[in-house]
Structure 1
Amino acid sequence: MGATADKIKGTANEAIGKAKQGVGEAVGSERLQGEGLIQEGKGHAQKAVGDAKQAAKDAVDKASDFAQRKL
């Protein structure tokens, strides 16, 4: 999965997790609140993976550009 896809899925999981937490709070379901908290955490992690992939790609691109200029 690419960096952008990871970031999109992460954002979606964060939003769904927050919604689950809100619904769980509204109906008094600790289980639903917990599921939402876990899903939101998963979203944060997915976004971090996407950011790391993007940073790695940017570093490779920069190194490649530098190498091309030196040739």
Structure 2
Amino acid sequence: MTDTPNTSARLDELEMRVVHQDQTIEDLNAAITAQWKLIERLERRIAQLGERVADSERSTGDAAPVDRPPPHY
């Protein structure tokens, strides 16, 4: 293959694209990793809140009902 100026320029352009694509992949990977950690933390928090609600429902089931007007008042 002969090394013409056009071929060299095309090769340089392709190499630059690869570098930019590698950086984009690294950036996306970092974003996905951060989102995954957030999702795991939120799932743990939802589980904790679910347990608190269940505990609250069990404890209020034994208490006397509160006299409140119906919601349409």
TM-score range, shorter chain: 0.5 to 0.7
Per-residue CA deviation, residues 7-59 of structure 1 (Å, 9 max, x unaligned), is xxxxxxxxxxxxxxxx5xxx241111111000110011111111111110100
Q: Give the Cα–Cα distance (whole angstroms) in 1 for the partners of residues 25 and 3 of structure 2.
A: 34
1:65 corresponds to which residue? 40
> Letter of the aligned partner of 1:41 in structure 2?
M
Which ranges of structure 2 fall in alignment gaps of 5 or more residues? 47-73
Q: Which has the higher contact order (CA 8 A, sep 6+)?
A: 1
Please, what TM-score do these two structures have when normalized by structure 2? 0.55
1:45 corresponds to which residue? 20
Count of equivalent residues:
46
Please, what TM-score do these two structures have when normalized by structure 1? 0.56
1:5 corresponds to which residue? none
Which ranges of structure 1 fall in alignment gaps of 5 or more residues? 1-22
RMSD (Å), alpha carbons: 1.4
Q: Give the Cα–Cα distance (whole angstroms) in 2 for the partners of residues 39 and 67 of structure 1.
A: 41
Correspondences of 1:1-71 after superposition (within 5 Å): 23=1, 27-71=2-46
> Letter of the aligned partner of 1:31 in structure 2?
N
Q: Give the Cα–Cα distance (whole angstroms) in 1 for the partners of residues 33 and 39 of structure 2.
A: 10
